[in-house]
Every structure is written in C-alpha cells, then in structure tokens.
Chains A and B, each alone.
Chain A
Amino acid sequence: MSVETIGAVGGIGGASGVGGALGTLATGFGQGIADTDNAQMTRAVATGAATTVAPAGAAGAAALQAAQGAGGAQAAAGTGGDFAALLAGGLERLQGLQSSADQLAVKAATGDLTDVHDYMIASNEAQLATQLTTAIRNKAVEAFNEIMRMQI
C-alpha cells in the first residue's frame, strides 16, 4: 500500500505522483471532520432557527455551524477510538478520490474521456483533499511538538 499510496498522493496534480498516500490520509481526515460538521450543522441550524427569525438567520446559522463544527472536531479528537475510526474512514475516502482522478487521467490519455471537466474536477478535488490532509497532519505534528516541549 505504501508505494501505491505515494503514487496516489502524486496523482493530485493530474498525475497524482507523490501525494497519493498522504492525500488519501488527509482526505480521510477531512471527511471525518466534515461528517462531524454535518451533525453539528443540523444542530446549528436548529439553534439558529430558534433564536433568530431574521433573514440573517442563514448567515448566523452558518457561522454557528462553523463554530460548533470546530468544537465537534475537537471533541471527536478527545476520544482516541472515535478519532482513529474517523481518520481511517477519511483516508479511505481520500483514496477513493485519488483513484477516481487516476482513472480519469488514464481515460484522458487513452482518448476515452467524454467530458474534459470530469477529469479537471476530479483532480481538483483530489488536490484539495491532499492539501486538507497535509494541513491536518501539519497541525497534528505541531500540537505533538508543543506537548513534547513541555517542562516536567
């Protein structure tokens, strides 16, 4: 899987070369957070409806959702098992994004691609997912280093 993963990560740019595995991981991560966001979102929308009747309710709900989403992600990270499952699911989804982009790249090369934008959209999604994954990885490493620097 490691070689494949690396290849998948690279594939993000179109060829998806290095970033594949990392991107897959990151994608999974992002997905998990996104799922948490969804649950929080419904709550946020409900809260928004109850408290604000104004037309600005949608924006308010969105802001609420964003705020609550962040809280939800932190809560999920607090429990080890849930976070691991979240991460695994997210990685799997990133892998899916990468492989679909790779398949479309092959189609483009062989002339079987019917819609040009399909490949461009797939590669953009894979790229974004990879960026998200690396961002999360960087943040996690940052947090770990911060804790390791702690004076005992």
Chain B
Amino acid sequence: MGLSPATSGSSRVTYDPPSQDGWVTTRLEFLVNWSRANSLWPMPFGTACCAIEFMATAASRFDLARFGMERLSFSPRQADVLLCAGRVPYKLAPVIRRIYEQMPQPKWVIAMGACASSGGMFDNYAVVQGIDTIIPVDVYVPGCPPRPEALMYGIMMLQDKVMQQRSISDQAQYDEITIDPTSRLYIPPARIDELSEPFGNSVHQTRSAP
C-alpha cells in the first residue's frame, strides 16, 4: 500500500502515495462487512431508564460517533439496528414487531438491559419476558441499566458479528422471520414458555388458579 521495500543495507522505508493512487485489494465480502459494521444506523426504541443511559452513550462524553453510530434513525425504514432500551409491555409487542418488520435487511437487534433481555424484575402480567419472544435478538446487554461502557461493548460485539457474516454468499440474512398467521408468533409457543420461565426469587410466586 505505497510502502516500498527497504533497499539493501538500509533500514529506511519510503512512502510514495501518488505512485500508488487508485489501488486497493481486498475481498468484496470484507469491504461490504467493514462498511456495514462501521456505519450502523440505530433505531432507538427507548421505553425506560435504559434509554437515559443510551442518551449518555450517544452524547459527547462517551461519543457513539466513534463507532459510526451517531446517526440515530427515528424512522425504522432508514435503520440497521433496532436498539430496544427498556421494558416492553404486552401492549407494545405489536408495535415493536411492526417496527422490526419495517426495517430493511440486513438488520440487527440489540436488547439493552435486563428488562428487554428477559423481562428483568417485572415478572408480571403486563411485561414481555424478553423481546426475543417477539423478534430475533443479536446482542443482549446485561445491566439494570447497563453503563455506557457496557452498551458500547455490546455494540462492538455486534460489529464483530457483522464483520464475520458471509454477506455475499449467505442469503439467509436477507430472509424475513416467518410468522405463524394465526398466533402471530415466530417461534413455537413451547419455546416462548420456556424462555419466559421465572428465575431468581420470583420462582416462589406460583401461578394461582383461574
């Protein structure tokens, strides 16, 4: 890349960009992944305190622009990453599903915080037990709420994932999720019940009879 080998007996390396103008060699897949990973446009879906931490992450001190994510997309149609920050009640389930469906492929989802990942402490009748029961999730960021460093680590993990994709040969990433027409679920009901199993202290709260 413009570096000429050192002449014999000399440790000098010369650099002459004009002589190398217009040349770059790489794999197309790498180039596509590299440009995607470093220019992810997040769609913030902030419903709770995690969104405050996300705002801090996007602001000047932590500066999400370093990862090419400073362009927040408030329309799902121009977004790559759905960043769900906060608890999602059942009433919002069709909304987040519709937002995800409106995003163009390829698209990724980050579940930020305990509530978006698993329902968190809200093991009750109103809160979805993890948004992965509604839409597929790529990165789960733990914390209640996660610090900006944790969110940025999750974003870097997502960038790693994007870099490892077979973006040319693998067409599966462009497939939409298949939704069962009657139940509107994309994974089997038994899997959802398994994902929503109570954990921690809440196992002592048994379901009472109807």
Q: Is B one of A's binding partners?
A: no
